[in-house]
Amino acid sequence: MTFFKFCPSCGSTHFTFPDNRRFLCDDCGFTYYHNIAAAVAIIFTFEDKVLFTVRNVDPDKGKWDLPGGFIDPDETAEEAACREIKEELGMNLKPSDLKYITTSPNNYLYKNVPYRTMDIFYECSLASDVIQVAAEDEIQELIWVKRAAIDLNQIGFVSIRKVIGTYYSV
């Protein structure tokens, strides 16, 4: 894995990624830990249906996804979930509207940098299925899918496929 070609400290090319966790410069000893990034995903439910977004950007453009995103510095996971839902769907949620489900590791390749994430899943049960996209640049469309009709092959990210497959598809 060589997505950094040069040591950011001394410019050496003797730069290795020995254990998929840290970059190490053999010349000056500079070390950079490529730590796991935390992200949230929200599973909206209505009756026997689950809400998916259809991605409008890579990675996995055109595949089914869930609302959510990366957690910013100094945010709680619940705050990040509420912020992302406001940005993507224009809805105002409170942290207490979210029910924790589980976590699942994911890979997120962005501009050739292979981020590794820990996705934190919440469920939010809705009283209506009327819901709209606020971030058309990120989301092509929203689809409500009956649990029995969920096609796991349409889901792009391995973490989401696993959690939906374990907890939501029938």
Q: Which residues bind Zn ion (CB under 5 A)?
A: 7, 9-10, 12, 25, 27-28, 30
**What distances in angstroms separate CA 31 from CA 2, 10, 17, 60, 112, one per listed residue?**
14, 12, 10, 31, 20
Candidates 104, 81, 98; CA nearest to 164 is 104
The minimum distance between CB 28 and Zn ion, in angstroms, equals 3
The minimum distance between CB 4 and Zn ion, in angstroms, equals 11
**Between 22 and 61, whose beta carbon lies closer to Zn ion?**
22
**Between 22 and 99, whose beta carbon lies closer to Zn ion?**
22
Is residue 167 within 8 A of residue 66, CB to CB? The reply is no
The minimum distance between CB 32 and Zn ion, in angstroms, equals 10
**Between 9 and 56, whose beta carbon lies closer to Zn ion?**
9
**Between 32 and 168, whose beta carbon lies closer to Zn ion?**
32
The minimum distance between CB 96 and Zn ion, in angstroms, equals 48
For residues 142 and 88, what is the distance between their CA atoms, to the nearest angstrom?
Answer: 11
Based on its alpha-carbon atoms, the radius of gyration of the chain, rounded to whole angstroms, reads: 18
